[in-house]
Amino acid sequence: MVDQEKRGITPIEMTNQNVVVPDARKGIGITIAMAMSKSLFSPFMPKLLPAAADGYFTISRKMFSKKTETEGKTNSWVDSMRDSSPTRVKPSTSLSETEEKNTWIVNHPSALSMFEEIVNGSKGKQIVMFLDYDGTLSPIVEDPDRAFMTNEMREAVRDVGRYFPTAIVTGRCRDKVYSFVRLAGLYYAGSHGMDIKGPSKNSCRNKKDYQDVLFQPASEFSRMIDERTKCIPGAKVEDNKFCISVHFRRVEEKMWATLVEQVRSVLKGYPKLRLTQGRKVLEIRPTIKWDKGKALEFLLESLGYANSTDVLPVYIGDDRTDEDAFKVLRNRGQGLGILVSKVKDFLRRLVEWKRSTLQGQCRV
């Protein structure tokens, strides 16, 4: 439906790709994940790798009837890698796909165009912001070490953080994403939510003495992952503390199968690790049931909104891994999932609105 790679390169220039699905029962409640997983990501779901309910790919044994299982699995992974490649010419879109896309856009208007409805629906509720980093706050670039956010985006996030509890939720190592964002007073959920730190609920965000919330459910895997990264040749390996990213953006396509085989051979004997895929990146993660959605729930709970109806969580993301968070919002029957686009504009508008509602009152 929407070119993920394109969205990643120029996320703040794209238009009409925000996703807002009003839920008539709850006013502003948003049921975004179902629409996203069916429509948005479908062009990037390799045919051999159907998306599982949890947003990850599972590989059925039936798929490999005429090949060895190992060969079949490697080919499936390479197919998936190709599907997320911008260098690959996509087959022309069929009429029915075009109709589906148009219907989808009509049914999923821009968050900016629905801004009034959103803020009206938030009345009496505390907005809590969740922001993915790569491809959402920063553009997608060749070198993962240079995925800097602009100063304008930093200002927009800083201002939002002044008015609303705000979390950065990323696959990156927490320290690394902090070195990019450089804003104190926010929550940082690194390693796909497995490493969370931020101001505690009762702390004053303007004071330096707030306590940290620290949660590292996957720490037992850390050393093991660290050791194994050294054994994966080629490509760029990024240690995200509780996850490992193996980047293939700069690897020639003919080498992808070899790369997958190498990575999978490392994983043999480590049933507690699993392989997933992002944008031109293979990710090795612990099999524990923890993801960005769980991180969102954990943060809401630590803010005192575990079972509250007085909260409006807003999650902005661009990637398959963000679907876990969208799914949590859908299951909670509250909140708002926004697909990346004009993020900065949306954040600024939210701040302007909040400022206007505070006119004449004590500022935050």
Ligand X SMILES: O=P(O)(O)OC[C@H]1O[C@H](O[C@H]2O[C@H](CO)[C@@H](O)[C@H](O)[C@H]2O)[C@H](O)[C@@H](O)[C@@H]1O
H or E segment and range at residue 264 = helix 256-267
Among 72, 109, 144, 234, binds ligand X (CB under 6 A): 144
Binding part of the chain for ligand X, among 63-71, 133-141, 254-262, 350-358 by CB under 6 A, reads 133-141
Nearer to ligand X, 78 or 114 (CB): 78
Residues 160/350, Cβ–Cβ less than 8 Å: yes
| Closest alpha carbon to 211 in 302, 338, 292 | 302
Q: The sheet that has 244-247: what strands, in order across it? A: 236-239, 244-247, 281-286, 273-278
**What stretches of 170-262 adopt beta strand conformation (E)?**
187-190, 195-199, 212-215, 236-239, 244-247
Return the DSSP state at 149.
P
When asked if residue 59 is in the footprint of ligand X (CB under 6 A), the reply is no
The DSSP H or E segment spanning 126 is: strand 126-132
Q: Which is nearer to ligand X, 180 or 215 (CB)?
A: 180
Q: Is residue 191 a contact residue for ligand X (CB under 6 A)?
A: no
Q: Is 247 in the site for ligand X (CB under 6 A)?
A: yes
Residue 108 engages ligand X in binding (rule: CB under 6 A): no
**Closest of 229, 216, 220 to residue 284, by C-alpha:** 229
Tell me if residue 145 is catalytic.
no
Q: Which of 240, 262, 302, 334 is in the footprint of ligand X by CB under 6 A?
A: 240
Distance separating alpha carbons of residues 158 and 3, to the nearest angstrom: 29
Rg (CA), the chain: 20
Does 238 interact with ligand X (rule: CB under 6 A)?
yes
Instruction: Write the DSSP string, 51-90.
Output: BPTTSSB---GGGGTTS-HHHHHHHHHHHHHHHT-TTSPP
161 binds ligand X (CB under 6 A): no
Contact 71, 78 (CB under 8 A): no
Task: Note whether 193 binds ligand X by CB under 6 A.
Answer: no
Window contacting ligand X (CB under 6 A); options: 93-101, 167-175, 269-277, 303-311: 167-175
Residues 275-334 that bind ligand X (CB under 6 A): 278-281, 283, 319, 321
**Binding status of residue 111 toward ligand X by CB under 6 A:** no
Alpha-carbon gap, residue 39 to 42, rounded angstroms:
5
Catalytic residue among 132, 195, 318, 324: 132
Residue 238 beta carbon to ligand X: minimum distance, rounded to whole angstroms? 5
Pick the closer one to ligand X by CB: 142 or 301.
Answer: 142
Segment lying near ligand X (by CB under 6 A), choices 31-39, 60-68, 169-177, 194-202: 169-177
Residue from 197, 249, 348, 355 binding ligand X (CB under 6 A): 249
- Residues serving a catalytic function are 132
- Which residues contact ligand X (rule: CB under 6 A)? 132-135, 140-142, 144, 147, 170-172, 238, 240, 245, 247, 249, 278-281, 283, 319, 321
